[in-house]
Amino acid sequence: MRLLTGRVRVVLVATALLASATFCVVQDRVTAAGARRYVRLQRTAMADGGPLVTIDEVMRPAIDRSVRQGLAWAGLVAALGLTAAVAVQRQQHSAANGGATRP
């Protein structure tokens, strides 16, 4: 069993941090877009004298969408980071074996 080297560990920690930050940013932006949509719909309904919308009508789907999109983008960042970690591990393993590659 091979232990993770320092560089691989750094890549994995950075990946986890970046994936978490990506989720937070995407989730925040999509949720904020939902809030702006709610305000716009509410103002239009008030100006036209139509039925008011509830916050749940707009924000529940917006929050669901924000979590799905946040997870999708964070998953992409995680996949790229794990790929980078594997590449670093292979490069270090190859260098430690005098440039020999595995079959």
> Tens of pLDDT along 33-79?
999 999 999 999 999 999 999 999 999 999 999 999 999 999 999 99
Alpha-carbon distance of 68 to 5, in angstroms, equals 33
Contacts of range 51-59, beta carbons closer than 8 Å, 24 or more positions apart: 58/34, 59/31, 59/34, 59/35
pLDDT at 1: 42
Q: Which two tokens stand for residue 89?
A: 């591990």
Residue ranges covered by each domain of the chain: 10-94
Kindly report the pTM of this predicted structure. 0.81
pLDDT in tens, 13-42: 999 999 999 999 999 999 999 999 999 999
Q: Which two tokens stand for residue 16?
A: 């986890």
Please give the pLDDT value at position 91.
Answer: 87
pLDDT at 21: 98
